Protein backbone atom coordinates (compact mmCIF):
# COMPACT_ATOMS: atom_id res chain seq x y z
CA UNK A 1 0.00 0.00 0.00
CA UNK A 2 1.01 3.65 -0.30
CA UNK A 3 1.30 3.91 3.46
CA UNK A 4 3.75 1.04 3.67
CA UNK A 5 5.80 2.48 0.80
CA UNK A 6 6.08 5.78 2.67
CA UNK A 7 7.16 3.99 5.84
CA UNK A 8 9.80 2.03 3.94
CA UNK A 9 11.14 5.20 2.28
CA UNK A 10 11.54 6.84 5.69
CA UNK A 11 13.12 3.76 7.27
CA UNK A 12 10.15 3.18 9.57
CA UNK A 13 8.90 -0.18 10.88
CA UNK A 14 5.77 -1.40 9.13
CA UNK A 15 4.68 -3.34 12.23
CA UNK A 16 4.85 -0.55 14.82
CA UNK A 17 2.44 2.29 15.49
CA UNK A 18 3.53 5.47 13.76
CA UNK A 19 2.95 8.70 15.65
CA UNK A 20 3.36 11.82 13.53
CA UNK A 21 3.86 15.25 15.12
CA UNK A 22 3.17 18.26 12.91
CA UNK A 23 2.66 21.82 14.14
CA UNK A 24 1.29 23.34 10.96
CA UNK A 25 3.16 24.26 7.78
CA UNK A 26 5.77 26.33 9.63
CA UNK A 27 5.97 24.17 12.72
CA UNK A 28 5.27 25.13 16.33
CA UNK A 29 7.93 25.95 18.93
CA UNK A 30 5.43 25.22 21.72
CA UNK A 31 4.62 21.75 20.39
CA UNK A 32 8.28 21.02 19.63
CA UNK A 33 9.33 21.88 23.19
CA UNK A 34 6.54 19.86 24.81
CA UNK A 35 7.25 16.82 22.61
CA UNK A 36 10.98 16.98 23.36
CA UNK A 37 10.25 16.93 27.10
CA UNK A 38 7.72 14.11 26.73
CA UNK A 39 9.88 11.71 24.70
CA UNK A 40 11.92 10.41 27.67
CA UNK A 41 8.67 9.68 29.51
CA UNK A 42 7.46 7.48 26.66
CA UNK A 43 10.89 5.88 26.41
CA UNK A 44 10.82 4.80 30.06
CA UNK A 45 7.46 3.05 29.63
CA UNK A 46 8.50 -0.24 28.03
CA UNK A 47 4.96 -1.36 27.18
CA UNK A 48 4.53 1.81 25.13
CA UNK A 49 8.07 2.16 23.76
CA UNK A 50 7.98 -1.37 22.31
CA UNK A 51 4.93 -0.48 20.20
CA UNK A 52 5.71 2.97 18.82
CA UNK A 53 7.86 5.07 16.54
CA UNK A 54 7.65 8.83 16.07
CA UNK A 55 8.17 11.06 13.05
CA UNK A 56 8.42 14.68 14.16
CA UNK A 57 7.93 17.44 11.57
CA UNK A 58 9.77 20.23 13.41
CA UNK A 59 9.31 23.01 10.83
CA UNK A 60 12.02 24.72 8.81
CA UNK A 61 12.12 27.90 10.85
CA UNK A 62 12.62 25.97 14.13
CA UNK A 63 14.92 23.24 12.82
CA UNK A 64 18.37 24.69 13.59
CA UNK A 65 17.43 25.70 17.13
CA UNK A 66 15.68 22.42 17.86
CA UNK A 67 18.60 20.28 16.71
CA UNK A 68 21.21 22.40 18.49
CA UNK A 69 19.22 22.21 21.74
CA UNK A 70 18.71 18.44 21.53
CA UNK A 71 21.60 17.02 19.44
CA UNK A 72 21.42 13.48 20.92
CA UNK A 73 17.70 13.24 21.52
CA UNK A 74 16.99 10.29 19.24
CA UNK A 75 20.00 8.28 20.45
CA UNK A 76 18.84 8.38 24.06
CA UNK A 77 15.40 6.87 23.39
CA UNK A 78 14.28 3.23 23.47
CA UNK A 79 12.15 3.63 20.31
CA UNK A 80 12.78 5.05 16.85
CA UNK A 81 12.44 8.81 16.73
CA UNK A 82 12.93 10.66 13.45
CA UNK A 83 12.93 14.48 13.48
CA UNK A 84 12.70 16.17 10.07
CA UNK A 85 12.46 19.86 9.14
CA UNK A 86 9.60 19.44 6.67
CA UNK A 87 7.49 16.84 4.83
CA UNK A 88 6.27 18.08 1.42
CA UNK A 89 3.46 15.52 1.02
CA UNK A 90 1.92 15.55 4.49
CA UNK A 91 -1.40 14.16 3.23
CA UNK A 92 0.44 11.05 1.98
CA UNK A 93 2.25 10.71 5.30
CA UNK A 94 -1.03 10.70 7.20
CA UNK A 95 -2.09 7.56 5.33
CA UNK A 96 0.97 5.84 6.79
CA UNK A 97 0.19 7.05 10.32
CA UNK A 98 -1.78 5.71 13.26
CA UNK A 99 -1.75 8.71 15.60
CA UNK A 100 -1.26 12.36 14.62
CA UNK A 101 -0.49 15.22 16.97
CA UNK A 102 -1.51 18.29 15.01
CA UNK A 103 -3.11 21.72 14.83
CA UNK A 104 -6.83 22.25 14.15
CA UNK A 105 -6.79 23.72 10.65
CA UNK A 106 -9.65 22.60 8.39
CA UNK A 107 -7.37 21.11 5.72
CA UNK A 108 -5.25 19.18 8.23
CA UNK A 109 -8.31 17.70 9.93
CA UNK A 110 -10.06 16.85 6.67
CA UNK A 111 -6.92 14.96 5.59
CA UNK A 112 -6.77 13.23 8.98
CA UNK A 113 -10.38 12.11 8.51
CA UNK A 114 -9.68 10.80 5.02
CA UNK A 115 -6.69 8.86 6.37
CA UNK A 116 -8.65 7.51 9.35
CA UNK A 117 -6.08 8.28 12.04
CA UNK A 118 -6.36 9.05 15.76
CA UNK A 119 -5.84 12.83 16.06
CA UNK A 120 -4.59 14.63 19.15
CA UNK A 121 -5.42 18.23 18.29
CA UNK A 122 -3.77 21.32 19.79
CA UNK A 123 -5.74 24.20 18.21
CA UNK A 124 -3.74 27.32 17.39
CA UNK A 125 -5.04 30.18 19.54
CA UNK A 126 -4.15 32.76 16.91
CA UNK A 127 -6.66 31.47 14.36
CA UNK A 128 -9.34 33.97 13.28
CA UNK A 129 -12.55 33.69 15.32
CA UNK A 130 -10.97 30.76 17.20
CA UNK A 131 -11.92 28.60 14.21
CA UNK A 132 -9.33 25.91 14.99
CA UNK A 133 -10.95 25.25 18.37
CA UNK A 134 -14.36 24.98 16.68
CA UNK A 135 -12.93 22.48 14.17
CA UNK A 136 -11.30 20.47 16.96
CA UNK A 137 -14.44 20.35 19.10
CA UNK A 138 -16.46 19.15 16.11
CA UNK A 139 -14.17 16.10 16.04
CA UNK A 140 -13.96 15.58 19.80
CA UNK A 141 -17.73 15.74 20.30
CA UNK A 142 -18.08 12.89 17.81
CA UNK A 143 -15.49 10.70 19.53
CA UNK A 144 -13.07 11.29 16.66
CA UNK A 145 -10.18 13.07 18.43
CA UNK A 146 -8.57 14.24 21.65
CA UNK A 147 -8.28 18.02 22.11
CA UNK A 148 -5.78 19.87 24.33
CA UNK A 149 -6.02 23.64 24.55
CA UNK A 150 -2.73 25.46 23.92
CA UNK A 151 -2.74 27.04 27.39
CA UNK A 152 -3.26 23.62 29.00
CA UNK A 153 -0.70 21.73 26.90
CA UNK A 154 2.14 20.14 28.84
CA UNK A 155 4.21 16.98 28.53
CA UNK A 156 2.23 15.17 31.23
CA UNK A 157 -1.12 15.61 29.45
CA UNK A 158 0.29 14.59 26.08
CA UNK A 159 2.09 11.60 27.58
CA UNK A 160 -1.04 10.39 29.37
CA UNK A 161 -3.09 10.35 26.16
CA UNK A 162 -0.36 8.71 24.06
CA UNK A 163 0.50 6.08 26.68
CA UNK A 164 -3.18 5.12 26.90
CA UNK A 165 -4.08 4.89 23.22
CA UNK A 166 -0.79 3.21 22.26
CA UNK A 167 -1.60 0.16 24.38
CA UNK A 168 -5.42 0.30 24.23
CA UNK A 169 -5.81 -0.98 20.67
CA UNK A 170 -9.62 -1.16 20.69
CA UNK A 171 -9.95 2.41 22.00
CA UNK A 172 -7.54 3.71 19.36
CA UNK A 173 -9.30 1.86 16.56
CA UNK A 174 -12.69 3.16 17.73
CA UNK A 175 -11.44 6.76 17.49
CA UNK A 176 -9.90 6.06 14.08
CA UNK A 177 -13.22 4.68 12.83
CA UNK A 178 -15.11 7.71 14.20
CA UNK A 179 -12.59 10.02 12.54
CA UNK A 180 -12.92 8.26 9.20
CA UNK A 181 -16.72 8.64 9.33
CA UNK A 182 -16.26 12.42 9.23
CA UNK A 183 -14.44 12.28 5.90
CA UNK A 184 -16.09 13.80 2.85
CA UNK A 185 -14.35 12.10 -0.10
CA UNK A 186 -16.61 13.92 -2.58
CA UNK A 187 -16.16 17.35 -0.98
CA UNK A 188 -14.96 19.04 -4.18
CA UNK A 189 -17.89 17.65 -6.16
CA UNK A 190 -20.34 18.72 -3.42
CA UNK A 191 -18.92 22.27 -3.35
CA UNK A 192 -19.03 22.48 -7.15
CA UNK A 193 -22.63 21.29 -7.23
CA UNK A 194 -23.62 23.78 -4.53
CA UNK A 195 -21.99 26.64 -6.45
CA UNK A 196 -23.73 25.64 -9.67
CA UNK A 197 -27.07 25.48 -7.84
CA UNK A 198 -26.45 28.90 -6.32
CA UNK A 199 -25.66 30.29 -9.77
CA UNK A 200 -28.81 28.73 -11.21
CA UNK A 201 -30.94 30.27 -8.47
CA UNK A 202 -29.43 33.72 -9.01
CA UNK A 203 -30.10 33.50 -12.76
CA UNK A 204 -33.70 32.46 -12.06
CA UNK A 205 -34.11 35.35 -9.63
CA UNK A 206 -32.76 37.84 -12.20
CA UNK A 207 -35.14 36.52 -14.85
CA UNK A 208 -38.12 36.69 -12.50
CA UNK A 209 -37.39 40.23 -11.24
CA UNK A 210 -39.78 42.75 -12.92
CA UNK A 211 -38.14 45.32 -15.13
CA UNK A 212 -39.39 48.68 -13.84
Q: Over range 161-188, report the average pLDDT.
A: 87
pLDDT of residue 145: 97
Measured CA to CA, the distance from residue 182 to residue 117 in angstroms comes to 11
The 3-state secondary structure of 31-63, one letter per residue: HHHHHHHHHHHHHHCHHHHCCEEEEEECCHHHH
Per-residue pLDDT tens over the stretch 52-86: 999 999 999 999 999 888 777 878 899 999 999 98
pLDDT of residue 187: 41
Local confidence band at 181 (pLDDT 50, 70, 90 cut-offs)? very high
Q: Flag whether pLDDT at 204 surpasses 60.
A: no
Local confidence band at 206 (pLDDT 50, 70, 90 cut-offs)? low
pTM: 0.84
pLDDT of residue 118: 97
Q: Flag whether pLDDT at 14 surpasses 70.
A: yes
Per-residue pLDDT tens over the stretch 133-165: 999 999 999 999 999 999 999 999 999 999 999
pLDDT of residue 134: 93
Query: How wide is the angle at C-alpha 183 spanned by C-alphas 135 and 165, nearest 5°?
Result: 75
Containing 118, the helix (H) or strand (E) segment is strand 118-121
pLDDT of residue 191: 37
Q: Flag whether pLDDT at 4 surpasses 90.
A: no
pLDDT of residue 109: 93
Per-residue pLDDT tens over the stretch 80-126: 999 999 887 777 888 899 999 999 999 899 999 999 999 999 998 87
Asked whether 120 and 146 are in contact (CB, 8 A), the reply is yes
pLDDT of residue 73: 80
Residues, the chain: 212
With a CB cutoff of 8 Å and minimum separation 6, the contacts of 156 are 41
Q: Flag whether pLDDT at 38 surpasses 60.
A: yes
Cα dihedral 149→62→96→94 (10° resolution): 50
Question: Where would I find the beta strands (DSSP E) of 58-197?
Answer: 80-84, 99-102, 118-121, 146-147
Amino acid sequence: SEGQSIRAALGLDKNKLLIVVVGGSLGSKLMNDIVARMLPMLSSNKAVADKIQILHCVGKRHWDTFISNSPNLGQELSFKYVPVPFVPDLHCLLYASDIVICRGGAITLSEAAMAGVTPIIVPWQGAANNEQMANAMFFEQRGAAFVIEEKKLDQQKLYAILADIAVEDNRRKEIQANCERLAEPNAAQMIGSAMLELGRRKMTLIKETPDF
